[in-house]
Amino acid sequence: MLAIRFHGRGGQGAKTASRIVGTAAFLEGFVAQDSPIYGAERRGAPVAAFTRIAREPIRERGIIAHPTVVVVADTSLISDPAARVLDGVDEKTVLFMNSSLSAEQLATQISLSGRVTALDLTEVALQRFGKRGAISALLGAVAGRLVGLRQESIHEAISRELADLGLAPSVIEQNQVAARHCYDAVPVVALETGSRRVPGSTRLRIPNYEPPSRGTARISAAANSLLRETGGWRTFRPVLVPDKCNGCWLCFVYCPDGVISMTKDDRPVIDYDHCKGCQICVQECPTRALVAEREKEGEAAWTAK
Amino acid sequence: MTWQRETFKKIKQVPREEHVFPGTSLCAGCGGLEALRLASKGLGDHVVYVNAAGCFTMLAAYPFTPFKGSWLYTTMGSAPAGAQGIRDALDVLIAKGRLPKEENLKIVVLGGDGSTYDMALSSTSGAIHRRLDFYYFCYDNEAYGNTGMQLSSATPYGARTATSPCSLQHQAGTLQEKKDIFEIWRAHKPPYIATVAPRYPLDLEEKFARASKFEGPKLFLALSACPTGWLYDPGETPEVAKLAVETGLWPLKEAINGEVTHTYIPKLKPVEDYLKLQGRFRHLFEPTLQKEVIAHIQDRVHRYWERVNQVERKG
């Protein structure tokens, strides 16, 4: 059995990618299973999805603890402990990273024994679609290539899954063309599936009943959400061009998260530890003094806080 | 008679101080959070938020809170009942002298449209009937957003949701009309109700300033443009909210002791301008243009504003 685990941020298309691979495998006559992790559906928050492919009926259920392939749509997730990207990864696991860095650079930075391959899907999407957005078809194509599915079945699966989401035929075709490019471009790493150890069963612990006065979660701190840094959600960051700013306050007023404050002489200061990169300030700035810059990857991105 | 803002005339009057802090896991570009942040500038820190389950569950995800004040979490149907309990407790403590009057708190219910329009309707009706002194802040993103955009009774006609997809049998997607919760509240005769949109911050702040003078139930219906569920790019949240108002689909209004005033008269741009921006309406344009559906939405807007003109602007 092949087990593929997708990690992405809400809105990137990890869930749809898992469906594309599942459908493509099904079209080739395999038994396939795909499911996302259940949780609140949220743009920018870490999400995971799972695809299992086999010739025999699949009895395993739930999350994939020991993946054959891990597909990472956003490398900033690696340093997020909640995302658990590297759980169950060993020297046999193939790791795909959507990254502008090379596989060698990534391997040294994450200091990992797994086998790494990479391709800059965000760049492909920017060039072909003209904007950032879901890269589900591209992730699906790459994952399909790595596990040895045929290009034609990926093509058909993209068509079915994206049509299900209500996308226009022209958009679907654009996705198929870009996916084909990624299918051909991704450096392939051979899979080792022979001697995978079978994971033991996990024991469930039944929690004790506590009365509401003890059993209810309580937070006795004030505004401690500041400790949670949501800056890693960004693919683009707003950057101020000071000369163009007319000090109008609109960025400060419209920022949903309140991460922009105004100095005494009416210049915005952006809290990059928490800015989620929604680009509202960039869109609303009347003098185009705020511009979107793609987040650079580097060593700083890997240091967990 | 045109409505005048008395306090908030310039954008730089929006208070600098923050009361909802960053670090929540609400979506990037959340229109509901944008509205709450602006609302909180009018409410201050002496507040107990009573939060019905919904997207705003993620405001205070254990062990973190974005508030300096208090936050109580309830089921979707029972936030107004929770508000009553807190109000009573505060009143009793103050009456007994166990809590100084200065430490009195405002009670603010936070509910999504699923709570406000559907599940909490009966407990809300009870709370208004009892003249409970509280604010009700509804972040209306027109569907059950936290669980993946299922149809609610706030979903407008023609929108596609997870449970009202565009299908051969139902090509328009949602066939029901959006419930008029403003009028349902108004029928209860509360002292103050208003609709707001975060793209109109001065209108919003002014309304919170006006509401603070009234004791009793006060409703704020906040248009909460939702990039995740309405399917547009997060940066376009203000633009979507602006077009909702400018096309006349989301009227900005208030009702003081039942008397309605529209606080902004839009130029009524064609509804297509608003619909086209959002993926949830794309099936009305592609693969075939559903003229009747769009005409129906447009017609409803025109009829609404004709009535407004007749009632409010006679002579």
> pLDDT category, B190, cuts 50, 70, 90?
very high
List chain A residues with CB under 8 Å of B31.
256
Residues of A within 8 A of B170 (CB-CB) are none
Domain ranges of chain A: 2-185, 229-302
Strand A2-9 relative to strand A290-294, pairing: unpaired
Q: Smallest CA–CA separation between A48 and chain B, in Å?
A: 15
Per residue in A154-164, pLDDT tens?
999 999 999 88
> How many angstroms separate the CA atoms of A276 and A279, rounded?
9
Which residue among A168, A217, A225 sits closest to B24, beta carbon to beta carbon? A225
A256-275 core/surface letters (b: 16 or more CB in 10 A; e: else): bbbbbebeeeeebebbebbb
State the pLDDT at residue B205.
Answer: 97
**Contact at CB, A254 and B34, closer than 8 angstroms:** yes
The pLDDT value recorded for residue A299 is: 42
Inter-residue contact B185 to B117 (CB < 8 Å): no
**Are B74 and B51 a contacting pair, CB within 8 Å?**
yes
Task: Give dist(CA B283, CA A41) in Å, integer.
Answer: 23
Interface size between A and B, measured as CB pairs under 8 A:
156
Q: Name the B residues in 223-262 with CB < 8 Å from any A CB.
A: 227-228, 233-239
- Residue A192's pLDDT band, with cuts at 50, 70 and 90, is confident
Gap between the Cα atoms of A156 and A171, Å rounded = 14
Q: What is the mean pLDDT of residues B187-205?
A: 97
Mean pLDDT of B60-77: 93
CB contacts, 8 Å: B162 with chain A: none
- Give the single-character DSSP code of B108: E
Can you spell out the DSSP letters for B250-261? S--EEEETTEEE
How many other β-carbons are positioned within 10 Å of the β-carbon of residue A281? Answer: 25
Q: What is the pLDDT of residues A86-144, one digit of tens each?
A: 988 888 899 999 998 888 888 887 777 678 999 999 899 988 887 666 899 999 999 99
Domains of chain B: 11-312 (3.40.50.970)
For the segment A248-275, the average pLDDT, to the nearest whole number, is 97
Please report the pLDDT score of residue A304 as a whole number: 35
Q: How much is the mean pLDDT over chain B?
A: 95
Mean pLDDT, chain A, whole residue set: 88
Q: Does A206 touch chain B (CB under 8 A)?
A: no
Backbone phi, then psi, for A267, in 5-degree steps? -115, 140
ipTM for the predicted complex? 0.95
pLDDT tens-place string over residues B270-289: 999 999 999 999 999 988 99
Of all helices (H) and strands (E), which one includes residue A180? helix A169-185
Q: Are A31 and A55 in contact (CB under 8 A)?
A: yes
Q: Chain A: give the shortest CA distance to residue B208, in Å.
A: 16
**Residue listed under structure tokens 């904007």:** A131
> Are residues A278 and B28, on separate chains, in Cβ contact within 8 Å?
yes
Which residues, other chains included, contact B29 with Cβ-Cβ below 8 Å and sequence gap of 6+?
A43, A256, A276, A278, A279, A280, B227, B233, B234, B235, B236, B237
- Nearest CA distance, A94 vs chain B (angstrom): 30
CATH topology (fold) of A2-185: Pyruvate-ferredoxin Oxidoreductase; domain 3 (3.40.920)
Give the phi and the psi of residue B223 in degrees, each rounded to 5. Answer: -65, 120
CA A84, CA A100: separation in Å to the nearest integer? 22
Tokens describing residue B130: 């009892």
Tokens of B200: 């109109």
- What are the C-alpha distances in Å from A273 to residues A27, A195, A277, A292, B218? 45, 43, 11, 16, 36
Is A229 in contact with B23 (Cβ distance < 8 A)? yes
Mean pLDDT along residues B84-92: 97
| CATH annotation of A229-302 | 3.30.70.20
Q: Within an 8 Å CB–CB cutoff, is residue A212 touching chain B? A: no
Q: Are B212 and B7 spatial neighbours (Cβ–Cβ below 8 Å)?
A: no
Backbone angles phi, psi at A209, to 5 degrees: -80, 135
Distance from CA of A287 to the nearest CA of B (A): 16
From CA B40, how far away is CA B21, in angstroms rounded?
A: 11
Provide the chain A residues 79-138 that lie in CB contact (below 8 A) with chain B: 131, 133
Chain A residues touching residue B236 (CB < 8 angstroms): 283
Residue type at position A7: H
Q: Which helix (H) or strand (E) holds A22?
A: helix A14-27
Q: Does A261 touch chain B (CB under 8 A)?
A: yes
Q: Per-residue confidence at B246, pLDDT binned at 50, 70, 90?
A: very high
Number of Cβ atoms within 10 Å of the Cβ of A64: 22
- Assigned token pair, B14: 């929006």
- Which sign, positive or negative, has the C-alpha torsion A283, A289, A293, A299? negative
Distance, CA of A217 to CA of A213 (rounded, Å) = 9
Q: Positive or negative CA dihedral for A284, A290, A294, A296?
A: negative
- Residue A48: phi, psi to the nearest 5? -140, 150
Cα gap B179→A112, rounded to integer Å? 55
List of residues 6+ apart from A1 with CB closer than 8 A = A52, A53, A54, A56, A58, A60, A193
Taking an 8 Å cut-off on Cβ atoms, the answer to whether A133 and B11 are in contact is: no
Q: B57 and A40 in contact by Cβ < 8 A?
A: yes
Six token digits for residue B149: 């955009």
One-letter amino acid of B313: R
B118 with B152: CB under 8 angstroms? yes
SS3 A232: helix
Contacts of B102 (CB under 8 A, 6+ apart): none
d(CA A96, CA A187): 10
Return d(Cα A93, Cα A69) in angstroms, integer.
6
Model confidence pLDDT, tens digit, residues B110-138:
999 999 999 999 999 999 999 999 999 99
pTM, rounded to two decimals: 0.88
